[in-house]
Amino acid sequence: MSLTSQISSTEVSFKLSQKIVSALAEKFSFKFEDGWSAISNRPIDLIQKRLRREKRRANPASAVKHARTAFSFFTQKQRPVSQTAHPEASFGQLSGYVSEAWKILTPEQMTEFKALELADKDRYQKERAAVLAALPTGEVISATPTTPIENVDEPVKEKKVRKAKSPKVAKPLAEPVAEPVAEPVVATPAHVPAPVKKTKTPKAEVKAEVKAEVKAEADVEVKVEPKAAKSPKSKVVKA
């Protein structure tokens, strides 16, 4: 049996294959269609139609005609009337005309079609019960419709049990801490700038003292010497 046949053999294997391809496509970042074409040469739509057809064949009750609704009985009666009134209308336009006529029906006019609906439901229940009663006991279970979710064995997730919270104990109120009182600040007038005194560092004071001592010594040593008196020129006596 090929891989495509195994996938489409049962509804369980078909659903499981879809989940596997979807998980791999999400993890490895590729398209779901590309992954599905790698494992099956049949599209998903065709496999779904085939499984539904086989399911109807396996269910004997599917041969019983389903019950019709009140709107279905009204459509059967009203469509020929609307088609005569609108001969050029398409199928969709005729459905719209029928819907408009259904909306304007009075409760008394709708009672006729509601009665037909209830009678057809009774007919469906009786015929279905008769078909199931004629089956052997072992086949009655297979005739009942089952959903795909019930057939797939999935791990049951454990529910997390929340731990009961312990009752909150009221904490004792903390004693208020006295805030320190700020000392009053005497503000000086805005128009009188406060004098800023520059404080000399010890190094600067030492330099100033050294300069003062050097200057005093220089004043003592340096003296202005008086100009030397010129000696009188001796006159030379000519012979």
Give percent of the chain with pLDDT exceeding 70: 59
Report the distance separating Cα 157 and Cα 149, nearest Å.
15
Q: Supply 149's token pair.
A: 């979710």
- Position 11 confidence tier, pLDDT thresholds 50, 70, 90: confident
Q: Are 117 and 66 in contact (CB under 8 A)?
A: no
Phi/psi region, residue 42 (left: phi>0; alpha: psi -120 to 50; beta: rest), is beta
User: What is the phi/psi pair of residue 108, to 5°?
Assistant: -70, -40
Q: pLDDT tens for residues 128-187? A: 888 888 877 655 444 444 433 334 344 444 555 566 565 565 555 555 555 555 555 554
Residues in Cβ contact with 101 at an 8 Å cutoff, skipping those fewer than 6 apart: 74, 78, 82
Architecture of domain 70-151: Orthogonal Bundle (1.10)
Report the distance separating Cα 217 and Cα 196, nearest Å.
34
Q: Supply 69's token pair.
A: 């609704």
Question: pTM here?
Answer: 0.42
Collapse the DSSP code of 34 into the 3-class scheme (helix H, G, I; strand E, B; otherwise coil) and give the result. helix
> In b/e form, how buried is each residue of 191-214, taking b as 16+ CB within 10 angstroms?
eeeeeeeeeeeeeeeeeeeeeeee
Collapse the DSSP code of 75 into the 3-class scheme (helix H, G, I; strand E, B; otherwise coil) and give the result. helix
Q: pLDDT tens for residues 39-83? A: 888 899 988 888 888 887 777 777 788 899 999 999 999 999 999
Domain boundaries in the chain? Answer: 3-58, 70-151
Number of neighbouring beta carbons within 10 Å of residue 32: 14
Instruction: Provide the residue count of the chain.
Output: 239
- Position 116 confidence tier, pLDDT thresholds 50, 70, 90: very high
